[in-house]
């Protein structure tokens, strides 16, 4: 459910008098309604960057940063778009729109959560740092908008090291919560997978599919460990996260159809089996049951530590349409204590307690409760949001197992979703999911053809957003730097044009597409 998006994560406005009425002879700008292919299955929506695209983006970003620094020195003001836009810019929000997240990582001893924003249609991603409880989130990569394949947080003395592996790029790390970032050395320009063996002094492994690289200093530097082959379309490494998992010291590597395991001496990878092929590879579980997923949905299982594999039928649910192959998100969600319990799903959260033989679909009856929440009331905290991009298990600092679901409407925590077999009534699902990212993170994605300000007050803003519907600013937040929004419609926010800021024409993405008339003067006084 994605169309053309503004490539920024926040609404910024020039710092002018916020309550100045627009003169009668001045017309608000008419928005461009050109849009990209709105097909939900657009192949560009979730594809990875190529190494060439990643390298080009990094070069362009460096040029932009250099030009902005020069412009700031010359003019003493902030500048955007390579100096084409100048002035003093203020972030106006929104305050209460959680935005879209892709996957998460946890510093489990402190209940600190790290979340990657989604970046639909191959757009850039950012890393946010927060907690399980208090809505206090901080953007820790404001100057590094890349795309991220893997994220690892490790103890480093009395602090923490955040290790970010770029999609189609290298690795960077920070020891000061994102204030500064340093590039790891000894790596090729493009990697496919990075993991840590937490049972072996946090040794890191990374691969481009051709060579495995190893780091014994928390990712500061890597050295070549073993050559695997001359080429690879897909590659994934994996090591069980928790020492309580059988065989937790194991390190696995999948390269296209070949499946490897690190030998007990930790000197080389040996091929132990062959897997099916067919798209991006994911790995989860442990030596009781190892799981490999292909194209983020086709599940394969091994009960002999990767020597032989069998396709495992699972079920998916796209709203009310039942089909094969439960979608996984960025990583396969496998219960660390019982690898028969799996979590996944895209338009609604799915769980299976018997390795896919049966699936709890009942949540699909309640997806609309988030989308249609009038006023974006905090009650949306307990109404899960489609679409789900990542489904992962973690433990909190008290040792209680939980899941984190990264969705197009924020990050949700659950302490019991995998125990449920059905939701006969709405009350049965209330409290199962809880949004921990509802306020203070302007990471929503705004449709470029769906942003307007009012005819009499520039704080009368109307906006359409990715998977969070259609919003207006709240009058009682005027005067604050961060504006809040009233949600007036669910689903995908449509593109819209206006000639006077009072009457708008909304583009409906159905059939051939038509315009419908809407009122915009929500907050205009007589």
Residue 390 has pLDDT above 80, yes or no: yes
What pTM, to 2 d.p., does this model score?
Answer: 0.83
Same domain as 336, residue 258: yes
Residue 30 lies in a domain: yes
Instruction: State the CB neighbour count (10 A cutoff) for residue 34.
Output: 9
**Average per-residue pLDDT in the chain?**
83
pLDDT of residue 31: 33
pLDDT of residue 476: 65
Task: Quote the number of domains for the chain.
Answer: 2
Q: Is 254 strand, coil or helix? A: strand
Q: What is the DSSP string of 399-434?
A: S-EEEEEEETTEEEEESSGGG-S---SHHHHTTTSE
Residue that is last in its domain, among 435, 456, 482: 435
Residue 434 has pLDDT above 80, yes or no: yes
pLDDT of residue 392: 98
Same domain as 406, residue 333: yes
Residue 525 lies in a domain: no
Torsion of CA 167, 179, 213, 251, to 10 degrees: -80
Arithmetic mean of pLDDT, 60-83 = 58
Please give the distance of CA 155 from its chain centroid, rounded to a whole number: 24
Where do runs of H (alpha helix) occur along 274-384?
Answer: 368-371
Residue that is last in its domain, among 390, 416, 435: 435
pLDDT of residue 453: 74
Q: Is 364 strand, coil or helix? A: helix
Same domain as 392, residue 293: yes
Same domain as 362, residue 410: yes
Same domain as 69, residue 218: no
Same domain as 182, residue 75: no
Structure confidence at residue 159 as a pLDDT band (50, 70, 90): very high
Residue 41 has pLDDT above 50, yes or no: no
pLDDT of residue 376: 65
pLDDT of residue 33: 34
Same domain as 128, residue 55: no
pLDDT of residue 22: 34
Residue 275 has pLDDT above 70, yes or no: yes
pLDDT of residue 30: 31
Same domain as 109, residue 26: no
pLDDT of residue 512: 61
Task: Using the Cα atoms of residue 63, residue 67, residue 73 and residue 74 in order, give the sign of their dihedral.
Answer: positive
- Residue 19's domain spans which residues? 11-94+442-519
Arithmetic mean of pLDDT, 443-466 = 76
The residue among 242 and 137 whose pLDDT is bigger is: 242
Among 271, 289, 181, 175, residue whose Cα is nearest residue 229:
271
Distances, alpha carbon 352 to alpha carbons 103, 298, 303, 365, 396, in Å? 20, 15, 18, 17, 22
Residue 423 lies in a domain: yes
Same domain as 147, residue 79: no
Residue 301 lies in a domain: yes
**Percent of the chain at pLDDT above 90?**
57
Residue 15 has pLDDT above 50, yes or no: no
Tens of pLDDT, residues 168-190 = 999 999 999 999 999 999 999 99
Residue 11 has pLDDT above 60, yes or no: no
Arithmetic mean of pLDDT, 210-227 = 99
The residue among 77 and 327 whose pLDDT is bigger is: 327
End-to-end CA distance of the chain: 38
| Strand duo 252-255 + 235-238: pairing | antiparallel
pLDDT of residue 14: 40
pLDDT of residue 235: 98
Structure confidence at residue 60 as a pLDDT band (50, 70, 90): low
**Percent of the chain at pLDDT above 70?**
76
Residue 524 lies in a domain: no
Structure tokens at 140: 């820790």
Residue 248 lies in a domain: yes
Arithmetic mean of pLDDT, 48-75 = 61
Q: List for the chain the helix, strand, coil content (%; round to 5).
A: 10, 40, 50
What is the distance between the alpha carbons of residues 337 and 340, in angstroms, rounded to a whole number? 9
Structure confidence at residue 438 as a pLDDT band (50, 70, 90): confident
Same domain as 333, residue 222: yes
Residue 189 lies in a domain: yes
Arithmetic mean of pLDDT, 21-41 = 35
Structure confidence at residue 36 as a pLDDT band (50, 70, 90): very low
Same domain as 241, residue 365: yes
Residue that is last in its domain, among 400, 435, 470: 435
Tens of pLDDT, residues 468-494 = 877 888 766 766 677 888 877 777 776
What is the distance between the alpha carbons of residues 387 and 127, in angstroms, rounded to a whole number? 19
Structure confidence at residue 70 as a pLDDT band (50, 70, 90): low
DSSP assignment letter at 469: E
Same domain as 171, residue 106: yes
CATH code of the domain containing 384: 2.130.10.10
Contact 237, 253 (CB under 8 A): yes
Arithmetic mean of pLDDT, 431-451 = 81
pLDDT of residue 198: 98
Instruction: State the CB neighbour count (10 A cutoff) for residue 299.
Output: 25
Residue 479 lies in a domain: yes
Question: How many residues would you count in the chain?
Answer: 526
pLDDT of residue 520: 61
Arithmetic mean of pLDDT, 496-502 = 70
Residue 64 has pLDDT above 60, yes or no: no
Residue 285 has pLDDT above 90, yes or no: yes
Structure confidence at residue 526 as a pLDDT band (50, 70, 90): very low
């Amino acid at each position: 459910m994605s169309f053309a998006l503004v490539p920024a994560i926040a609404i910024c406005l020039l710092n002018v008098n916020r309550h100045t009425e627009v003169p009668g002879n001045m017309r608000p700008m008419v928005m461009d309604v050109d849009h990209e292919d709105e097909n939900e299955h657009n192949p560009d929506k979730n594809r990875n960057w190529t190494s060439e695209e990643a390298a080009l983006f990094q070069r362009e970003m460096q040029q932009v940063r250099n030009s902005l620094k020069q412009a700031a020195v010359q003019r003493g003001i902030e500048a955007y778009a390579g100096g084409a836009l100048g002035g003093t810019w203020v972030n106006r929000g929104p305050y209460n729109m959680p935005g879209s997240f892709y996957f998460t990582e946890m510093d489990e001893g402190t209940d600190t959560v790290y979340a990657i924003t989604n970046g639909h249609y191959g757009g850039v991603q950012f890393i946010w740092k927060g907690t399980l409880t208090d809505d206090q989130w901080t953007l820790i990569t404001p100057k590094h908008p890349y795309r991220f394949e893997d994220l690892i947080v490790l103890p480093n003395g009395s602090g923490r090291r955040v290790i970010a592996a770029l999609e189609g790029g290298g690795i960077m790390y920070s020891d000061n919560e994102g204030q500064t970032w340093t590039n790891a050395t000894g790596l090729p320009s493009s990697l496919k997978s990075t993991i840590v063996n937490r049972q072996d002094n946090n040794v890191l492994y990374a691969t481009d599919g051709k060579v495995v690289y190893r780091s014994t200093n928390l990712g500061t530097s890597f050295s070549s460990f073993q050559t695997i082959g001359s080429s690879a379309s897909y590659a994934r490494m994996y090591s069980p996260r928790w020492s309580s998992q059988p065989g937790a010291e194991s390190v696995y590597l999948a390269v296209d159809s070949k499946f490897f395991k690190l030998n007990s001496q930790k000197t080389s990878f040996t091929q132990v089996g062959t897997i099916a092929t067919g798209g991006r590879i994911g790995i989860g579980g442990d030596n009781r049951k190892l799981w490999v997923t292909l194209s983020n949905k086709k599940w394969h299982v091994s009960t002999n530590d990767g020597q032989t594999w069998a396709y495992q039928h699972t079920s998916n649910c796209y709203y009310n349409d039942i089909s094969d192959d439960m979608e996984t998100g960025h990583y396969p969600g496998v219960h660390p204590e019982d690898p028969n319990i799996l979590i996944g799903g895209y338009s609604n959260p799915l769980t299976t307690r018997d390795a896919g033989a049966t699936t709890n679909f009942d949540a699909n009856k309640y997806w609309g409760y988030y989308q249609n929440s009038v006023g974006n009331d905090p009650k949306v905290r307990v109404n899960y949001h489609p679409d789900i991009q990542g489904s992962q298990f973690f433990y909190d600092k008290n040792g209680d197992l939980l899941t984190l679901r990264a969705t197009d409407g924020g990050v949700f925590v659950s302490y019991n979703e995998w125990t449920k077999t059905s939701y006969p009534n709405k009350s049965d699902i209330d409290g199962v999911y809880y949004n921990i990212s509802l306020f203070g993170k302007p990471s929503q994605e705004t449709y470029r053809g769906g942003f307007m300000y009012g005819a009499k007050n520039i704080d009368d803003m109307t906006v359409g957003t990715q998977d969070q519907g259609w919003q207006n600013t709240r009058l009682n937040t005027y005067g604050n730097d961060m504006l809040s929004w009233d949600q007036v419609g669910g689903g995908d926010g449509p593109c819209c044009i206006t000639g006077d800021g009072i009457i708008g024409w909304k583009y409906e993405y159905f059939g051939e597409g038509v315009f419908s008339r809407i009122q915009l003067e929500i907050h205009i006084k007589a």
